[in-house]
Structure 1
Amino acid sequence: MLTFRFETSRIGPEIEALIGKTGDRAAAHRIIGLTLYDQTVDRFQREIAPDGTPWAPLSPLTLSSRRNKRGILRDRGELFGSIHQVHNATRAEVGTRLNHPKVMVMQSGATIRPRRASVLAVPMGRGGNRPAFIRKAVIPPRPYIGIGRGDEEAVKDALLAWLDA
């Protein structure tokens, strides 16, 4: 599993002051968690990393073996569907519910080499009937979990809107 925390002890004095004005720290962290969740989902849909850089495009080999051509990291929808948020009176967290190596592979990238053979057999087409043989697979990082550009400003705006409501 992969999560990031937005802890009040590490944020700027403006946000801490806004949280203090609410009188309900858990509710404030709920607003923060939902805002960060929305930011994370938006970046995932736009296929950009938390720092604003676009994800690397899919390789032709990957595209040819996909069941679903609708976007990067969306073949089955598992990663996207796993994004969630939790909060309490001291923090908000956004992360993935998946506890699987592919989470870190997609977040950080990886090079996959065969362990017992000279090549990897990559299933191709529907049903994987005709494999492609490659010496290694280089998967570039496509970070989707993390505090991103504009997140702190979005949190401030959400807290101000909630206080004004």
Structure 2
Amino acid sequence: MAGAMLNVELDDSRAGDALTELMERLGDLTTPLLDIAEYLHQSTDDRFRRQIAPDGSPWAPLAPSTLAKKKDGRILRETGVLQDTLRHSVSNNELAFGTDRAYGAIHQFGGKIEHAARSQQVYFRQGKDGSVGNRFVKKGKSNFARWITRGAHSMEMPERPYLGLSSEDDNEVVLIVNDYLWAALRE
């Protein structure tokens, strides 16, 4: 997966110990890992809804300029594409969970975004009195056009972690694995 994927090592955690024991008993973790992946989808969806990081901290607020452009004030949810592209891949002993969207990484980890200089034609509607409003219109509804040039610039995107395991997630993974351990012990 290109984009954003978090590699979480569970070896030193309760979940890691439980998975190690389950691996020793079953040899193939595909089915338990599929259940864990389903849980991670639900947990991550909940974080998007609550706009919080796995550690429970709120995401960085939107800049006033971004808020002015959005239809609502939801963070990382203009169209829902990032959340909707969360995927998982499972093998017999590995679970990968993340997004294939390239911009997923900048939202997860933050960083500097470089914008190149550019020029483009923008379209306006000119009134009968000759005044031109400050709102862009589609080319077909325009009667006035102007070339605009914007110089190269950069911006700093704050991190808004959405991937990862919370302490609640770690506990839930342990419970899922324990269910499989008990089933394996009963066999």
Q: Structure 1-normalised TM-score?
A: 0.72
Q: Does 1:106 align with 2:107?
A: yes
Shift of 1:149: 3.0
Shift of 1:157: 1.5
Question: Partner letter of residue 146 of structure 1?
Answer: G
Shift of 1:76: 1.3
- Secondary structure of 1:150's partner? helix
Cα deviation digits, residues 130-150 of structure 1 (max 9, x gap): x9x896533211111223333
Q: Does the CA-based 8 Å contact 1:109-1:142 persist in structure 2?
A: yes
Map residues 64-83 of structure 1 onto 2, 5 A cutoff. Answer: 64-66=68-70, 68-69=71-72, 71-83=74-86
Q: Kindly, what percent of the aligned residue pairs are identical?
A: 29
Larger radius of gyration: 2
CA separation in 1, counterparts of 2:114 and 2:48? 28
Go from structure 1 to structure 2 and tell me whether the alpha carbon gap of 1:65 and 1:127 turns closer, same or farther (over 3 Å shift): farther
Question: Partner letter of residue 62 of structure 1?
Answer: T
Q: Does the CA-based 8 Å contact 1:5-1:91 persist in structure 2?
A: no
How many residue pairs align between the two structures? 154
- Secondary structure of 2:6's partner? strand
Map residues 6-155 of structure 1 onto 2, 5 A cutoff. Answer: 12-21=16-25, 24-66=28-70, 68-69=71-72, 71-98=74-101, 100=102, 102-112=103-113, 114-116=115-117, 136-155=154-173
Shift of 1:30: 1.3
Q: Structure 2-normalised TM-score?
A: 0.65
Question: Partner letter of residue 109 of structure 2?
Answer: S
Query: Can you give the 5+ residue segments of structure 2 that lack an aligned partner in the other structure?
Result: 119-133, 140-147
- Secondary structure of 2:54's partner? coil
CA separation in 2, counterparts of 1:104 and 1:20? 34
